[in-house]
């Protein structure tokens, strides 16, 4: 991670990044900050970068467009990009942030920190990281406090990204358990893992069924953080932790199957949020549950047509073993409601291809019957740039999940509205929780980026939920 310092001095002899909002373009003192008149082609559109080379200045000046000034929306990418594109430039970079509000300064810092993310390569010829010091010109009194918060959030994002990018032969459910245990010790939250014979003793049948085809045994990971002073809310988070999804006996098409290492991005987000909340010492009671399993093919694997038990007591007819995420979440959600009764219950899951077909790679699908929670999560999405868009949970879709032989089946009778029918399935395991929300993050957690050749992790959910929780504090 880049080192960031805050400075209150204007030092001429450094590179400077000069962010400009569209609305402020006419007032921006180009002469003062660049020694040059306003370049006519620079419109300050979001993400626009204009490199200025002035004979009188040894160092560079970059104008960075931030678009319309409306809060802090979408500002992470531009800051991440301007540093990332210029990582090779020697010397110190100073970012002018003297006019920023608290909110804008925070996203600016997170973006600058993100530009230093390096994927953990497993190869002989590794690129050495270039340690860069970035200075932020921010005389505002709140700058130091905001920097601390930004570093904590960026660190949590880096953890989530590392976990999602890690290959599945490394990140077994067992590995995830150990990772979470040491994170808990470091950041200050409790961790308990149910695995092996204890899974069945604890009636976590659905998780056991999904994981039993793999020699990497499933694990049910429970994390708990409780503020020392009276918590303002009890929040339960559940993250889908499929460490690899072959589809099981209902085998997936091999094209792009390697992307299915990212099928634990919901779990990674929950782990990241736990880390951030504990390190920020938020005045809440936070429980995170990760049902982790590998959905493998083998003689021990569960089959299409099987009828399985679940933690809730409801039986499930398995029509398709590739609809495994909802099965492990069924146990996660039911365990959470029965044992913790949280005020808010939120799950994150790379659940359906249908959600990608609906919203693409831009927004997560948001499902909740709670109007207030819907609008809070939507707003946090807009502010953090981790966008989500609500889809319905009407009972019209419920009948498609009815089974003749079991209480419910795991695949809809119709090949339409797959993201919605998946959410209806999950709803059956929430005991009608009045503040439950489901985020289908299949399209937004592992995407193309300008930073790498292949798809990579985004840590979607970490900033969204941290921001949402901060709103409760």
- Judged by CB, which is closer to ligand BES: 18, or 267? 267
Q: Cα–Cα distance between 373 and 342 in angstroms, integer?
A: 14
Least CB distance to ligand BES at residue 70 (A): 31
Instruction: State the binding string over 344-363 for ligand BES (x if CB under 6 A, else -).
Output: ------xxxxx---------
Least CB distance to ligand BES at residue 264 (A): 10
Told to check if 330 binds ligand BES by CB under 6 A, we report no
Q: Which does 418 bind (CB under 5 to 8 A by kind): Zn ion, ligand BES, none?
A: ligand BES
How many residues in the chain? 473
Q: Cα–Cα distance between 423 and 147 in angstroms, integer?
A: 38
Which residues, other chains included, contact 12 with Cβ-Cβ below 8 Å and sequence gap of 6+? 57
CB 419 within 8 A of CB 355: yes
Q: Contact residues for Zn ion (CB under 5 A)? A: 242, 245, 263, 322, 324-325
Per annotation, catalytic residue among 69, 92, 252, 390: 252
Tell me whether residue 126 is one of the annotated catalytic residues. Answer: no
Q: Which does 442 bind (CB under 5 to 8 A by kind): ligand BES, Zn ion, none?
A: ligand BES
Instruction: Using CB under 6 A, pick the residue from 147, 323, 329, 401 that binds ligand BES.
Output: 323
Least CB distance to ligand BES at residue 218 (A): 15
Per annotation, catalytic residue among 326, 387, 409, 424: 326
Tell me whether residue 326 is one of the annotated catalytic residues. Answer: yes
> With CB under 6 A, what is the number of residues at the site for ligand BES?
15
Told to check if 418 binds ligand BES by CB under 6 A, we report yes
Secondary structure (DSSP) of 220-257: EEEEEEE-SSPPS-EEEEEE-EEEEE--TTSPPPSTTG
Least CB distance to ligand BES at residue 294 (A): 12
- Judged by CB, which is closer to Zn ion: 151, or 316? 316
- Judged by CB, which is closer to Zn ion: 325, or 342? 325
Tracing tokens 């020697």 back to the chain, one arrives at 90
CB 468 within 8 A of CB 279: no
- Measure Cα distances from 44 to 65, 66, 104, 137, 463 in Å: 4, 6, 16, 20, 26
Measure CA of the first residue to CA of the last residue in the chain; give whole Å: 28
Of 170-178, 224-232, 317-325, 330-338, the window that binds ligand BES (rule: CB under 6 A) is 317-325
Of 95-103, 323-331, 430-438, 452-460, the window that binds ligand BES (rule: CB under 6 A) is 323-331
Q: Cα–Cα distance between 205 and 259 in angstroms, integer?
A: 27
Which residues partner with 221 through β-bridges? 193, 290
Burial (Cβ within 10 Å: 0-12, 13-18, ≥19) of residue 167: exposed
Q: Which does 317 bind (CB under 5 to 8 A by kind): ligand BES, Zn ion, none?
A: none
The footprint of ligand BES on residues 386-415 (CB under 6 A) is 411
Least CB distance to ligand BES at residue 354 (A): 6
Instruction: Using CB under 6 A, pick the residue from 190, 224, 306, 320 that binds ligand BES.
Output: 320
Closest Cα to residue 147, out of 158, 157, 136? 136
- Judged by CB, which is closer to ligand BES: 305, or 353? 353
Told to check if 322 binds ligand BES by CB under 6 A, we report yes
Told to check if 324 binds ligand BES by CB under 6 A, we report yes
- Per DSSP (E only), the strands in 246-376 are 285-295, 307-308, 316-317, 344-349, 364-368
- Judged by CB, which is closer to Zn ion: 154, or 242? 242
- Measure Cα distances from 101 to 64, 81, 93 in Å: 17, 21, 21
Secondary structure (DSSP) of 149-170: HHHHHHHHHHHHHHHHHS-TTT
Burial (Cβ within 10 Å: 0-12, 13-18, ≥19) of residue 347: buried
Least CB distance to ligand BES at residue 306 (A): 15
Compute, in degrees rounded to 10, the torsion defined by CA atoms 245, 247, 251, 257: -30
**Which helix or strand (DSSP H or E) is residue 409 part of?**
strand 408-409
- Judged by CB, which is closer to ligand BES: 350, or 368? 350
3-state secondary structure of 122: coil
Of 17-25, 66-74, 161-169, 318-326, the window that binds ligand BES (rule: CB under 6 A) is 318-326
- Judged by CB, which is closer to Zn ion: 263, or 279? 263
- Judged by CB, which is closer to ligand BES: 162, or 322? 322
Q: Which does 411 bind (CB under 5 to 8 A by kind): Zn ion, ligand BES, none?
A: ligand BES
The footprint of ligand BES on residues 259-278 (CB under 6 A) is 263
Question: So which residues are the catalytic ones?
Answer: 252, 326
Which parts of this chain interact with ligand BES (CB under 6 A)?
Answer: 245, 263, 320, 322-325, 350-354, 411, 418, 442
């Amino acid at each position: 991670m880049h080192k960031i310092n805050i400075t209150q001095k204007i030092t001429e002899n450094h590179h400077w990044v000069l962010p400009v909002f569209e609305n402020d373009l006419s007032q921006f003192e180009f002469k003062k900050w660049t020694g040059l008149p306003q370049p006519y082609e620079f419109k300050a559109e979001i993400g626009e970068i204009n490199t200025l080379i002035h004979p009188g200045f040894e160092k560079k000046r970059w104008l960075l467009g931030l678009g319309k000034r409306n809060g802090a929306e979408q500002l992470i990418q531009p800051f991440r990009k301007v540093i990332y594109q210029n990582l090779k430039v020697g010397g110190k970079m100073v970012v002018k942030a003297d006019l920023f509000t608290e909110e804008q300064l925070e996203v600016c810092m997170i973006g600058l920190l993100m530009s230093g993310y390096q994927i953990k390569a497993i190869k002989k010829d590794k690129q050495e990281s270039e340690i860069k010091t970035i200075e932020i010109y921010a005389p505002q009194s709140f700058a130091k406090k905001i920097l601390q918060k930004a570093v904590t959030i960026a660190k949590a994002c880096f953890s989530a990204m590392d976990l999602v990018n890690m290959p599945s032969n490394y990140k077994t459910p067992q590995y995830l358990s150990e990772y979470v245990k040491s994170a808990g010790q470091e950041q200050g939250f409790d961790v308990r893992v149910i695995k092996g014979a204890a899974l069945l003793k604890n009636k976590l049948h659905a998780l056991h069924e999904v994981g039993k085809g793999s020699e990497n045994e499933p694990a049910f990971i429970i994390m708990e953080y409780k503020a020392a002073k009276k918590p303002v809310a009890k929040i339960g988070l559940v993250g889908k932790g499929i460490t690899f999804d072959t589809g099981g006996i209902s085998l997936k098409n091999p094209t792009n199957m390697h992307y299915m290492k990212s099928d634990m991005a919901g779990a990674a987000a929950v782990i990241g949020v736990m880390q951030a909340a504990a390190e920020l010492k938020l005045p809440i009671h936070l429980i995170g549950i990760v049902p982790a399993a590998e959905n493998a093919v083998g003689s021990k694997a569960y089959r299409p047509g099987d009828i399985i038990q679940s933690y809730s007591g409801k039986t499930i007819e398995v029509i398709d073993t590739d609809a495994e995420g909802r099965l492990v979440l069924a146990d996660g959600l039911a365990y959470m409601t029965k044992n913790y009764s949280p005020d808010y219950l939120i799950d994150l899951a790379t659940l359906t291809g249908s959600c990608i077909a609906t919203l693409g790679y831009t927004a997560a699908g948001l499902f909740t019957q709670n109007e207030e929670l819907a609008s809070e999560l939507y707003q946090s999405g807009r502010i953090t740039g981790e966008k989500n868009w609500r889809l319905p949970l009407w009972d019209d879709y419920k009948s498609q999940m009815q089974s003749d032989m079991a209480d419910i089946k795991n695949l809809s009778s119709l090949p339409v509205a797959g993201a919605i029918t998946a959410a209806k399935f999950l709803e059956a395991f929430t005991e009608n929780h009045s503040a439950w929300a489901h985020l289908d993050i299949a399209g937004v957690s592992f995407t193309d980026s300008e930073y790498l050749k292949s798809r990579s992790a985004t840590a979607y959910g970490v900033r969204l939920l941290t921001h949402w929780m901060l709103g409760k504090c």
